[in-house]
Amino acid sequence: MPLFVRLPRGVQLTPEGQLYCERLASVFTQIEQATRDLKQPSVKDPLVLSAPHSFIQYWLAPRLSRLYARHPGLQLRCRANYSALETPTSGGYQRPDTDSSH
């Protein structure tokens, strides 16, 4: 049973080919989504970003919509600091996975 016919400039689906294509479309969509999911592993914990206030306000904030569009499940927590010298070893930094109540 032919699914397409050859034409001088390409191919054309036969009625059977069109029906076959329509029935397989959802399968191909599922394969495409599964492939996308593999390329973009899910992260359950939020991403915590500690950065200078000006960086978050003027650079990151205008780009957040694109970031969330590319990574729909992303949970982002921004922690603005006001010192450019605040580093993990300066004492102004606390790891997000530590509990300060201990």
Please report whether residue 48 resides in a domain.
yes
**Res. 85: pLDDT tops 60:** no
Residue 12 has, within 13 A of its CA and on its CB side, a CA count of 5
Instruction: Quote the pLDDT of residue 80.
Output: 87
Are 93 and 86 in contact by the 8 Å Cβ rule? The answer is: yes
Are 49 and 77 in contact by the 8 Å Cβ rule? The answer is: yes
Please report whether residue 4 resides in a domain.
yes
- Same domain for 46 and 36, yes or no, is no
Instruction: State pLDDT tens for residues 5-54.
Output: 999 999 999 999 999 999 999 999 999 988 887 776 666 788 888 888 88
Please report whether residue 21 resides in a domain.
yes
Burial of 6: CB neighbours in 10 Å, binned 0-12, 13-18, 19+: exposed
The enclosing domain of 89 has a CATH number of 3.40.190.10
Give the Cα separation of 27 and 75 in Å (integer): 30
Could you give the number of structural domains in the chain? 2
pTM for the complete prediction? 0.41
